[in-house]
Amino acid sequence: MGQRIETQPNGQRVVVDRDLTIQYIYNIYYWMTNLGAVGTLGTTMLERYVGFWSSYLLALCSVLLCCCIVQGAGKIFVHPPTQGSVLPKAFRCLWYACHDGFNLNACLPGTQLARHSRIVPWDEDFVSELRSGLSAFKICMGWPIFWLCMGQASQQGISQAGQMESHGIPNDVLKVANPVAYVVFGVLVQKMLYPWLQAHRIRFPALNRITLGFVIMALAMTYLAALQGAIYHAGPCYSHPRACAASLNGQIANYVNIWIQVPAYVIIALAEVFCWPTGAEYTYSHSPKSMKSVMQACYVGTLALGYGFGMALSPLARDPYLVILWSLCAALVLLSAIIFRVTFRHLV
């Protein structure tokens, strides 16, 4: 799809593949996002040794730097012409489809005119594009559970670190291992794994990458469940860390080294490398031109569902139920991987 041969200024002939280009762009985008996330280490250390004001000042300086870059490089950016939003027509079309048995064919201009004497502001091509957009959005239905696991790792992971012996390390520092690992894995996967697969003509389509990412995320949640079990089996407070008399009013954590949590963030980073950019890439590639931004917004919108599920599991987010919480997340994301793979096997 979209392949052509071009000759570079140095005379070298190369094959330009649109799908590989989009894949590369999204991998670079999320790689840069995680590179920026490494800066949270600086804010954490500044907050600990200087004060909160210094952390916010660093964040402000980062935003101002981004503004300067965007303004300074504005001339080299591509500025597409402004177009009207397709959302009003799309919602109206879907409303008519729902009223006619959830059938998009009922939205066709000829059908609307014949059945309801109604003239609609779209043509058959728009209905076809809407159908294509909805088809692309289907793969997003597996993402809320993935975001649920990401949210739990980000929030409960910090709390879990606080239950272990820190040896002077802030409990929110270890999560920096996640973006650091992503930066490393992103380079290895993009520059070594994918070219090797292409050279040996081994297909590794988007849906396979997403499924693999879900499975890896299940392994990360399983690791965190096992780690939580180890914390509950360690003294002095066992299943109620920092909440017993032996903890001296919460000053003594359970006797588990905090560094044992690092592998979990590394495994999660590997899952993100295969899932995060691939979901955005697939949604973009398979969306009609007029709805690409809308489908991207829908993809990101699944974050809200994921955090909503996290709120539903909040009764388990306390001692001594955290092993159940992590195990449930592992089971849900593994089940999502299986359902995802079976449901969309025809798209591989």
pLDDT of residue 262: 96
**Statement: residue 69 has pLDDT above 90:** no
Handedness of CA 308, 313, 315, 319 (dihedral sign): negative
Q: How confident is the model at residue 2 (pLDDT cuts 50, 70, 90)?
A: low
pLDDT of residue 15: 62
**Statement: residue 1 has pLDDT above 80:** no
Q: Tell me the DSSP string of 106-128.
A: GGSHHHHHHHH----S--HHHHH
- Choose the most confident range, by mean pLDDT, from 72-76, 108-112, 307-311: 307-311
Is the CB of residue 148 less than 8 Å from the CB of residue 156? no
pLDDT of residue 78: 79
Average pLDDT over residues 215-221: 97
Q: How confident is the model at residue 347 (pLDDT cuts 50, 70, 90)?
A: low
pLDDT digits (tens, 9 = 90+) for 148-194: 999 999 889 999 999 999 888 888 889 899 999 999 999 999 889 98
Map residue 200 onto helix, strand or coil. Answer: coil
Q: How confident is the model at residue 4 (pLDDT cuts 50, 70, 90)?
A: low
By C-alpha distance, which of 105, 109, 89 is closest to 97? 105
CATH topology of domain 137-347: Growth Hormone; Chain: A; (1.20.1250)
Domain spans, the chain = 87-122, 137-347
Lowest-confidence pick of 31-35, 76-80, 141-145, 334-338:
76-80
Per-chain mean pLDDT for the chain = 87
Q: Which of 55 and 84 is assigned the larger pLDDT?
A: 55
